[in-house]
Structure 1
Amino acid sequence: MTDPVGTATRRAALKMLDAVMRRGEALDRAQHAATQGLRNPADRAHAVVLAAEVLRHLPDLDALIDSATRQRIPDDAKSRMVLRLALVQCLALGTPPHAAIATALPLVDGGPKRLVHGVFGTLMRSEPELPAPPALPDDVTARWADQWGEAMVEAARGAIAQHPPIDLTLRDASNTGRMVDALGGVSLGAGNVRLSDPGNITTLPGFDEGAWWVQDLSASLPAKLLGAGEGRTVLDLCAAPGGKTMQLAAAGWDVTGVDISAKRLERLEANLARTGLPAHLVQGDIEKWQPQAPADAVLLDAPCSATGIFRRHPDVLYRIGPRQIAELADLQARLLDRAADWVKPGGLLLYATCSLERAEGEDRIADFLARHSDFARVPVSADELCAGFTPNMEGDVRILPGPLAEQGGADGFFIARLRKLTI
């Protein structure tokens, strides 16, 4: 018997969800293997959307499923995941119930189809709705409330409820007004254009000319806080895919971008070619690599939990926990120690992570400064930031969910700017 049209797409989504929930893989990484059998790019894209929507609403989907069963279906049971997938299609994406269940039942593969069909039918007859905004996983709610308070958790729920806009960073900030008009967007600061629904970005004005690149507003701040390069040297560590490298080159820095991934450096090289911006690229593990000489500035956008980009990548809510955060914090401490040796006396060290965890931000810098008396903060001032962002009392930048919510929000980030003292 032939499966209904669309079943293969749902099967690919199921494989992605299994990779995230069982094996802790990133959704982006799981996508390639899961969609190999889908020839149509639209089907591959739809499979990713389905998986992401399940993750965006997972606690609320589970609450619905549990309300319709006498005995709780195990968390790792395929029947639960198939029900999540069928329900999210109807309740979040507007798929007719008959189409959702028709493409769901083949996914059970000889398992409890009657259970899946019965639970789905019971729920659909009750005309359920998903809560707005969605709930976050209990462990994430507790962790963030402990660090930042209940208001932050509510703001995070509001953030994940909205599909985020796309920010573009302009190669030439003086063209902001013209590019806003050409692209039909808005600007949240010099050199930024925000688009709500850009479609295929490669067809937008300025793409072929390299006038801009995609980069969230928060992610554009670290390079800006180093200022104009005026020919000075900067190391951009963990550089790929290259948004900060291109910003630094456009600001007049002599940039060396270092990254461990050859494949990601190829993407950076292509972006540099498209924008016409110069940079030296090096493939290397910065726990082993050494520069030939210290630099005037070092930008370390360190590997992190990426919990700050949860609204774009809801899989981080299920892949990342205290163990992963602790391991990454240890790595960040080691990388900061190495980067410190590569800064000239009087030069700047810029540390950044797209994380909402104190262990990867405030705690890392406090620990670093306690061990490195030859470094001191260079506090960030409010006029260096976009409207809506403010530095904290120490002069670091901590971006939490909430600011710019009416304009589409921004990714979570931590940034600290330090100077190596001339002793």
Structure 2
Amino acid sequence: MPRRPASPRPDDVPGFPARRAALRLLDAVLRRGDPLELALHGAAQGLPSADRALVHAIVAEVLRHLPDLDALIDGATKQVLPDDAKARMVLRIALAQTLALGTPAHAAIATALPLVDGGPRKLVHGVFGTVTRGEPVLPDPPTLPADVIERWAGQWGEAMPQAAARVYAVRPPVDISLRDASETAIWTDALNGTSFAPGHVRLPETAHIPELPGFAEGAWWVQDIAASCAARLLGPGEGRSVLDLCAAPGGKTMQLAAAGWRVTSIDQSKKRLERLTENLTRTGLSADILPADLRQWQPDAPVDAILLDAPCSATGIYRRHPDVLHRIGPRQIAELAELQGDLIARVAGWLKPGGQIIYATCSLERAEGEEQVERFLAAHPDFALLPAQTAELPQGLAPTPQGWLRTLPDTLTDQGGADGFFIARLAKASDQALTMKA
């Protein structure tokens, strides 16, 4: 009797190592709460760069469409699979490839089934077949997680999560900041872009960054238009001293240096500071760089200005990092808000009388923005909010009635949108004002 040929080992299945890495990465994000970008290195270790890119693409699409993928899976099973069940994880990966990345169904399931060797292969194969035979189409825009919708609607109203879902389906634009703002018209024309402010260009969707004119020469760097507003509110430096705190990878440091500030850039991550150093070298700008924990370090003398880009939930950049919608909840937001409060109170003591603090977070949570500044001002009578002015901001952005800048998912909607940010400018009273108050 002829012997049946042995089934191929999983590692011999073309494309399987990348799918195994995708499963590890998805587990790290959803079960352990690790950031996608940080967990990618460990999950895809040893894979070539093309496979690493595929791993990232698969998991990013799973996260972007997670509620809709789960709805398809639940509609094809008699009993609901646990959220962290391996079978559900594998089905998410297979369906995301087929429905979002255009992978043929037979190829997606062929690389998925070895992930459940010794497990529920029949279940995975059957559910995948049931779903794909129905020729489903993922909703456009994707459905946001229910808890995120509830949280954002509670803070901003029912229209906000609807706007957030609409822009979630749109590829985020690429903005650049220029080393020399006087060359804005030159670079806008050279790069076929659009400018909303001196020193800013929004690039066409097809732009391939490293190959564009001016990149290698350091004439500009990538930086979302909302993020660029923090340094804009400090204005020209004229040789004055500024601390850029939590500075890496350096967009704001380069803005400040280009505006004539004497910059000291501090970040806890030595690896991220390496990127900052590379960016400064490319652009020919200079700053003093220090790896330090702000809870332990302090300057030798007071400074003229401080830009605190505080550690935050990063929910404002959910379009670029869809993992934050699944990793971040009320507990994480509360913990980060406590850290932010400690940091801004600590660094306030490093400022000269008459100096300014820019407090910024790339968050859509009031606890990390509006509420943070309100608490700080209530506890520090020697500080006052210095309202942002429309003339200081890019076209299409405006300060709130309170005087700070808040960008939301409906900001610059017709031009491609902007990241979610909160930015406030706080001024310390001068010696004369403090004396008069006393």
Tell me which interval the TM-score lies in, with the shorter structure as reference length. over 0.9
Name which of structure 1's ranges 126-135 and 174-183 shifts more when overlaid on structure 2.
174-183
Alpha-carbon shift at residue 381 of structure 1 (Å) = 1.4
Alpha-carbon shift at residue 12 of structure 1 (Å) = 1.5
Alpha-carbon contact 1:13-1:48 (below 8 Å) kept: yes
Q: Does 1:367 align with 2:347?
A: no
TM-score by length of 2: 0.94
Match of 2:101 among 93, 96, 105: 93
Q: Does 1:272 align with 2:280?
A: yes
Distance 2:233 2:119 in 1: 56
Q: In the alignment, residue 168 of structure 2 is paired with which amino acid?
A: I
TM-score by length of 1: 0.97
Distance 2:218 2:54 in 1: 29
User: In structure 2, what is the equivalent of residue 191 of structure 1?
Assistant: 199
**1:322-364 residue CA offsets vs partner (Å, 9 max, x unmatched):** 1111111111111111111111111111100000100000000
**1:98-121 residue CA offsets vs partner (Å, 9 max, x unmatched):** 111111111123211111111111
User: In structure 2, what is the equivalent of residue 332 of structure 1?
Assistant: 340
Distance 2:45 2:207 in 1: 23
Alpha-carbon shift at residue 261 of structure 1 (Å) = 1.4
Q: Does 1:404 align with 2:412?
A: yes
Alpha-carbon contact 2:364-2:421 (below 8 Å) kept: yes
Q: Does 1:77 align with 2:81?
A: no
Distance 2:207 2:108 in 1: 26
Distance 1:234 1:163 in 2: 34
Alpha-carbon shift at residue 264 of structure 1 (Å) = 1.3
Alpha-carbon contact 1:60-1:130 (below 8 Å) kept: yes
* Secondary structure of 1:419's aligned partner: strand
Alpha-carbon shift at residue 92 of structure 1 (Å) = 1.3
Q: Does 1:256 align with 2:256?
A: no
Alpha-carbon shift at residue 182 of structure 1 (Å) = 2.4
Match of 2:149 among 132, 141, 156: 141
Gaps of 5+ in 2: 1-7
**1:10-57 residue CA offsets vs partner (Å, 9 max, x unmatched):** 222111111000110000011101111312x12211110110010000
Alpha-carbon contact 1:398-1:414 (below 8 Å) kept: yes
User: In structure 1, what is the equivalent of residue 46 of structure 2?
Assistant: 37
* Secondary structure of 1:341's aligned partner: helix
Alpha-carbon shift at residue 180 of structure 1 (Å) = 2.3
Alpha-carbon shift at residue 181 of structure 1 (Å) = 2.6
Alpha-carbon shift at residue 314 of structure 1 (Å) = 0.5
Match of 1:19 among 12, 28, 33: 28
Alpha-carbon shift at residue 198 of structure 1 (Å) = 5.1
Q: Does 1:54 align with 2:62?
A: yes
The residue correspondences of 1:181-220 to structure 2 (distance < 5 A) are 181-197=189-205, 200-220=208-228
Q: In the alignment, residue 30 of structure 2 is paired with which amino acid?
A: M
Alpha-carbon shift at residue 163 of structure 1 (Å) = 2.0
Alpha-carbon contact 2:361-2:423 (below 8 Å) kept: yes
Across the aligned residues of Structure 1 and Structure 2, the Cα RMSD in angstroms comes to: 1.2
Alpha-carbon contact 2:236-2:261 (below 8 Å) kept: yes
Alpha-carbon contact 2:192-2:204 (below 8 Å) kept: no
Match of 1:67 among 75, 85, 96: 75
Alpha-carbon shift at residue 199 of structure 1 (Å) = 5.8
**1:150-180 residue CA offsets vs partner (Å, 9 max, x unmatched):** 1110111012112212211111112222222
Q: Does 1:393 align with 2:425?
A: no
User: In structure 2, what is the equivalent of residue 343 of structure 1?
Assistant: 351
Alpha-carbon contact 2:30-2:326 (below 8 Å) kept: yes
Match of 1:299 among 307, 312, 334: 307
* Secondary structure of 2:427's aligned partner: strand
Distance 1:168 1:381 in 2: 22
Alpha-carbon contact 2:254-2:285 (below 8 Å) kept: yes
Alpha-carbon contact 2:69-2:96 (below 8 Å) kept: yes
Name which of structure 1's ranges 362-371 and 386-395 shifts more when overlaid on structure 2.
386-395
Distance 2:15 2:193 in 1: 34
Q: Does 1:225 align with 2:233?
A: yes
User: In structure 1, what is the equivalent of residue 136 of structure 2?
Assistant: 128
The residue correspondences of 1:146-165 to structure 2 (distance < 5 A) are 146-165=154-173
* Secondary structure of 2:359's aligned partner: strand
Alpha-carbon contact 1:223-1:244 (below 8 Å) kept: yes
User: In structure 1, what is the equivalent of residue 388 of structure 2?
Assistant: 380
Q: Does 1:9 align with 2:14?
A: no
* Secondary structure of 2:399's aligned partner: coil
* Secondary structure of 2:166's aligned partner: helix
Alpha-carbon contact 1:166-1:198 (below 8 Å) kept: no
**1:180-228 residue CA offsets vs partner (Å, 9 max, x unmatched):** 2322332232212222445652222112211111111111110001000
Match of 2:110 among 95, 102, 114: 102
Alpha-carbon shift at residue 287 of structure 1 (Å) = 0.8
Match of 1:308 among 312, 316, 339: 316
Spell out structure 1 runs of 4+ moving beyond 3 A.
196-200
Q: In the alignment, residue 24 of structure 1 is paired with which amino acid?
A: G
Distance 2:351 2:241 in 1: 10
% identical aligned pairs: 65
Distance 2:47 2:36 in 1: 17
Distance 1:295 1:58 in 2: 47
User: In structure 1, what is the equivalent of residue 246 of structure 2?
Assistant: 238
* Secondary structure of 1:349's aligned partner: strand
Distance 1:170 1:218 in 2: 15
Alpha-carbon contact 2:264-2:287 (below 8 Å) kept: yes
Distance 2:394 2:191 in 1: 20
Gaps of 5+ in 1: none
